Chain A
């Protein structure tokens, strides 16, 4: 029977929730890296026991962790416990948390600043990894989306990282600016049908696409409207919160923008609003059903000033028509006095026959619906604030 493994990043450590395919009885492992913020964990599709985790702290910076046994044990890539911690030839290890921006004359020169909160220019400063996206084919190749916004890649299992500087080299960098959570590259989507095509999204710059494996990039924000920026139709500057795609239909993208739920049917070349009858179109998460590419999920949040559900009712909204027509999913979710948030990385789906949908809250609950959203129940309800949720469906 199939199994599922839920990777939960929280403000105070990582947790791994495991169950068989019935998804009724759960084993909880953790906290791993207790006391540290775990922004994201994700398993390799090519080797599900290979998991990458972003461990970060305002005090001590970024640590990259890797497990090769499904989360039972962890190493900092390049510094496994069985090896000596230093070598005579110098400093071969401890490089896995070294994210250095490309400052070469050809690409680095025009990339040295972005827009700061007060409108002045500010130098790029690395803060943390928001998202790991392992290659679908190679367990040692993994992409990292970082704050301040840039895309890095490792081809040695996370031991060393190199920036794909063509993204910042696009030339619009001076117009990018941090959102309230920082200037983060939070979404990375690898097109499984076209290995050269990569989508990323940045808050607050917008979405970008590369057709050549990450060398060059195009902003794909036509149709986005953000009334809180000087030019609401600008090429860049939009606060995109998350983007999702169904792997069977890579030209169709769904976006939860700061405000507005959007859809593109042409790989991001243009977008249309599909917020429809949502009670509010502010929110962070968006995801697609594993087997039905027209079924999508969001969790409406009241506003950017009030990061909690409208009316104190935690409701997932499902559209079976790819947007515009939405139904509230409430069974099993608190319908009074609920003031949690659901952050942008904190929703995921499994690929079992009856698609499971999972999301985590800032109140420490991880909810599951094992029937595509009809009925929900908490797997755990007292974790630290949940930052990210990913799911692995295992044989």
Chain B
């Protein structure tokens, strides 16, 4: 099972806790994780990426294993630690300081 940490507003929408576990078929990439996440929680469709273009919404970012994966290609494999379930994939709403 793959672990995904959602921002608090999306947890409320999906009626989940801090972290969700989902099963992902095939290779483990941003795209396959988001496909599986939206299939399990269809109310999240359109909230993380565009319904049609599948482009990431501009103010959301993806992190795992203390690395910013936001700008990796959607089909780039995610780290092994995410695949094994040792580490979660974080979906984070960008926050501006100041």
Contacts and interface: CB of A to CB of B under 8 A. Distances in A.
For B7, B46, B47, the residue with the greatest tally of chain A CB atoms inside 10 Å of its CB is B46
Given A94-B38, A94-B45, A98-B45, A60 B10 contact: yes
A98 B51 contact: yes
Given A59-B7, A60-B9, A98-B51, A85 B59 contact: no
Contact of A57 (B9, B44, B45, B94): B9
A100 B9 contact: no
A94 B40 CA distance: 11
A155 interface: no
B46 A86 contact: no
Contacts, number: 66
Nearest to A98: B51
A119 interface: no
B42 A91 contact: yes
Interface in A88-145: 91-95, 97-98, 100
A57 B44 CA distance: 13
| Size category, A interface | 20 to 34
A19 interface: no
Given A59-B57, A98-B46, A100-B52, A85 B40 contact: yes
B9 A94 contact: no
Contacts of A91: 38-39, 42, 45
A36 interface: yes
Contacts of A93: 42-43
A91 B60 CA distance: 23
Interface string B10-25: 1001110000000000
Interface in A45-71: 57-63
A58 B45 contact: no
A81 interface: yes
Interface of A: 35-36, 57-63, 76, 79, 81, 85-86, 91-95, 97-98, 100
Interface of B: 7, 9-10, 13-15, 38-48, 51-52, 57, 59-60, 93-94
10 contacts: A59-B94, A60-B10, A60-B47, A61-B57, A79-B43, A85-B43, A94-B38, A94-B43, A95-B45, A98-B46
Given A63-B13, A76-B13, A98-B46, 14 more contacts: A57-B9, A60-B48, A60-B57, A60-B93, A62-B46, A79-B43, A86-B39, A86-B42, A91-B38, A91-B39, A91-B45, A92-B42, A94-B44, A94-B46
